Structure 1
Amino acid sequence: MNGRERAPLLAVAREAVRDALAVLLPVECSGCGAPDRAVCASCRAALAGAPRRIDRAGLVIWAGLEYSGTTASVLGAFKDGARTDAAAHLAPALRETVSAALADVAVGATVEVCTIPSTPTARRSRGYVPVEVLLRRCGIRVAPVLALARERADQAGLDAAARRRNAAGGLVAAAATRSFGSLTRPLDDRGAGLDGRRFLLVDDIVTTGSTLVEAVRAIDAAGGRTAAIAVLAETPRRFPRHAASSRETLRDIAAQGGYGGRTGVVDPPFRAG
């Protein structure tokens, strides 16, 4: 029996195993509450990624999903409801979004992936860092270069102005960081050592973009560069602005002016050749 002939049998076998587990370990869909699956077929279809460029706080960001409906239910359950079994169904959209963001980075350039550290309160309550769990599912290694410069409040529930104040000066970038209990601190308190290194900044949700602005500022201050930014989901704007055309590259958008500068993004990515 060749591989093509085995595929349908394997699919049937997997479904039988899932049915058996549903009896032994009852579970309900984290999206709609339907029984027997961590994420049902209908909700899985709603989590199909559609990477697009958005603008938040002057940053060009790639987003895979809109944080509403099924996405909000599943991602919310994953982040704050201990539903880590939903990670396998969220990871594909993040993988697609990361790939889309990297497509605008210079061919052959070395780009490392970094994430924003969780607050001590969030880390303690969850026991894991959601975006890092998703990236591991994607087979992507994270460079531990961003750390908390001080303790800050959780951004949830804050308005745009409060988010900016809360995020400002809250991060530092260093060549290496280390966890001390629930805190993440730089091994080099001067925040130096990223000269010449380029990063893809990844987060799970973007709302106002204030935390991402702070992250790219910290990377820039340490001598690194933010080559691109990717998030799994964007919260819908109450009053949407004109979105960048899907045909534009980061270089096209940068050429129009207003890219980076005081927001923290330096020299836009370029395409070799």
Structure 2
Amino acid sequence: MDGFRERLPPGLRDALAGALTLLLPVSCAGCGTGGIALCPPCADQLRPAPRSRELAGLTVWAGLAFDGPCASAVRALKERGRSDAARALAPALREALREAVASAASPVLAVPVPTSAAAMRRRGYRVPELLARRAGVRTARLLRVARATRDQRILGRADRASNVAGSMRAREGTAGLDVVLVDDVVTTGATLQEARRALEAAGARVIGAAVVAATPLTGVRTRARRLPDSPDTSR
């Protein structure tokens, strides 16, 4: 089933994944309340509040903080097959991307962090790309996985950097392009830095990064931007 699903066009694959969720008991991706995919209180807490973080010279914009309903929805998307959660999280990524490219003087390509073959087989979709599609953003798959890595979640800060070092390669034709990196969550920034290294080694210019959410990281300076109320993301 995984191999068949992987060969489907992205739009059809997303529709299949969404249809499968309708066959399962529905619960809020943010808090687990039964009978609704996203309850109004959780939808309210998923309203974007873009904030930037400087990580080794890379400006990373996050639409939300990785806690509460946001953290639950991301885990549902990544660990429980809840592809429908991408729709609730997409506005946060869209606003983060808007901030990340605000000062760009030329067209910028959104480049998702690549998904390993194992993760693709397990989920049936690429998380950063699915989130970008739900946000109405076209992406360019300019990065590929060059070698396997360990699960970053079980590693400390130093080990995360060494774990992903040299794990990505840029595809041909990236020289001279302006790009912004796209991912779901940033913690230490090690994965984004590796993606940046691979693209810059191929001649691209990375102007920044955009993610749905950022985990708390002490000692790192952040800058927030206030937005007007967003529409209900539960629809």
Residue 142 (structure 1) shift: 1.2
Query: Following the alignment from structure 2 to structure 1, what is the Cα–Cα distance between the partners of residues 119 and 164?
Result: 15
**Structure 1 residue runs without a partner (length 5+):** 1-22, 176-192, 248-273
* Equivalent residue number for residue 228 of structure 1: 208
Q: What is the CA RMSD across the aligned residues, in angstroms? A: 1.9
1:242 has 2:221 as partner = yes
Secondary structure of the residue that 1:226 maps to in structure 2? strand
| Among 159, 162, 165, the residue aligned to 2:162 | 165
Counting only pairs closer than 5 Å after superposition, residues 185-200 of structure 1 correspond to structure 2 as: 193-200=173-180
Counting only pairs closer than 5 Å after superposition, residues 15-164 of structure 1 correspond to structure 2 as: 26-106=25-105, 109-164=106-161
Query: Following the alignment from structure 2 to structure 1, what is the Cα–Cα distance between the partners of residues 123 and 25?
Result: 22
Q: TM-score, normalised by structure 1?
A: 0.71
Structure 1: which 4+ aligned runs deviate by more than 6 Å? none
Secondary structure of the residue that 2:222 maps to in structure 1? coil
CA contact (8 A) 1:57 1:208 kept: no
> Higher relative contact order by CA 8 Å / sep ≥ 6: 1 or 2?
2
Aligned residues: 205
Q: TM-score, normalised by structure 2?
A: 0.82
Query: Following the alignment from structure 1 to structure 2, what is the Cα–Cα distance between the partners of residues 153 and 57?
Result: 22
Residue 24 (structure 1) shift: 8.6
**Structure 2 residue runs without a partner (length 5+):** 1-21, 227-235
Q: Read off the aligned partner of 1:226 and give its amino acid letter.
A: V
Query: Following the alignment from structure 1 to structure 2, what is the Cα–Cα distance between the partners of residues 241 and 90?
Result: 24
Secondary structure of the residue that 2:152 maps to in structure 1? coil
CA contact (8 A) 2:161 2:190 kept: yes
Q: Deviations over 1:58-103 (max 9, x none)?
A: 4211111111111111111111111111111111111111111111
CA contact (8 A) 2:49 2:225 kept: no
**Rg comparison, structure with higher value:** 1
